[in-house]
Amino acid sequence: MFVSFVVKFFRLLSFPLVRGKNFSTFFIFGKASCTAAPYIYMNVFTNLFLQAKEFLFPGACALCGCSLIEAEEIRFSLCLNCSDGLTEALRRSDLDSKCNLCGKPMISEIETCLSCRNGEARFFERLWVLFPYIGNFRKLLTAYKFGKNLALADFFAEKITGLLKDSVCKEIPDLKNAVIVPVPPRPGKIKDTGWDQVERLVNRLEKIPGIPIVVRCLKRRKSKVQKKLDRQERLENLKGRIYLNKAYTPQPVYILIDDVITTGSTLEVCSAALKSAGAQKVYCICLFYD
């Protein structure tokens, strides 16, 4: 109980905006700080409220619901059993056996699946995905995205950091000039809900020297709800609606982060926007493939 109290207290204090991670981003890109300021404060209050709730009420595992006791359990909002199970599932899931353009598991193909090979060219160079969007993995994202279980951002961020260090940085030689950016949320989402799940987890990634994190540089205009649209309709729906904010200097290489890939159209439109702004290469990382 005492350990739980101490961990929660320090997590409350270690809120990323307070630690200056986001502030430094906004100060670097000074022009953006003026327009983004109200959203930062709203984000601070919403997140402080959610973290205060976690602090006052003892947590339960996001998957099995058992009480969390160990500091490591509280940190990720997952009991050791569930956390170990997910890590083991990730270890077993071979990154090389998934298509590097759509993320779907392949049977006998190498690097790219047959349907991607026969389809239209994508705007990004490569995609890495971690988990299938089924069973416990789906439950995990639901608890994070809709249940606002903020501690899960640290779990996801740790897995993405591992992927970046162990695979992406080793396989891609020109990553020294890269910038990590989240896929932008729908317009008004941060204003309405006070947060965005992808931005939050990107802000929780461990800093990798030479690869800065920049949030809110990609902007998104209003479009139809994507859920029931197929890939072509989604591409049409988003065409020209995602763009790089003029306040940001375009970079040669980007690493785009998203939570779920369904048809890949959002990543494609983001990549197309970055390339039309001057990017040479865009790599993508997604937590789940649907």
Q: Which residue has the tokens 């940001």?
A: 248
- At closest approach, how far in Å is the CB of 229 from Zn ion? 19
Q: What are the strands of the beta sheet with 253-261, ordered from one edge? A: 126-132, 281-289, 253-261, 178-182
Options 64, 71, 110, 134; binder of Zn ion; rule CB under 5 A? 64
Q: Which residue has the tokens 């790089």?
A: 244
Options 7, 68, 102, 217; binder of Zn ion; rule CB under 5 A? 102
Terminal Cα distance for the chain, rounded: 38
Binding mask 116-155 for Zn ion (x = CB under 5 A): x---------------------------------------
- At closest approach, how far in Å is the CB of 30 from Zn ion? 41
Binding mask 22-61 for Zn ion (x = CB under 5 A): ---------------------------------------x
Instruction: Specify the residue, 78 or 201, whose C-beta has the smaller distance to Zn ion.
Output: 78
> Which listed range, 111-119, 177-185, 197-205, 281-289, lies at the site for Zn ion (CB under 5 A)?
111-119
Q: How many residues lie near Zn ion (CB under 5 A)?
A: 10
Instruction: Specify the residue, 126 or 241, whose C-beta has the smaller distance to Zn ion.
Output: 126
- At closest approach, how far in Å is the CB of 212 from Zn ion? 30
Instruction: Specify the residue, 26 or 76, whose C-beta has the smaller distance to Zn ion.
Output: 76
- At closest approach, how far in Å is the CB of 90 from Zn ion? 16
Binding mask 73-92 for Zn ion (x = CB under 5 A): ------x--x----------
Residue in 110, 216, 103 with CA at minimum distance from that of residue 163? 103
Options 32, 113, 261, 282; binder of Zn ion; rule CB under 5 A? 113
The set of residues, in sequence order, having a beta carbon less than 8 Å from that of 27 and lying 6+ positions away, is: 33
Instruction: Specify the residue, 109 or 236, whose C-beta has the smaller distance to Zn ion.
Output: 109
- At closest approach, how far in Å is the CB of 249 from Zn ion? 33
Using CB under 5 A, list all residues that contact Zn ion.
61, 63-64, 79, 82, 99, 101-102, 113, 116
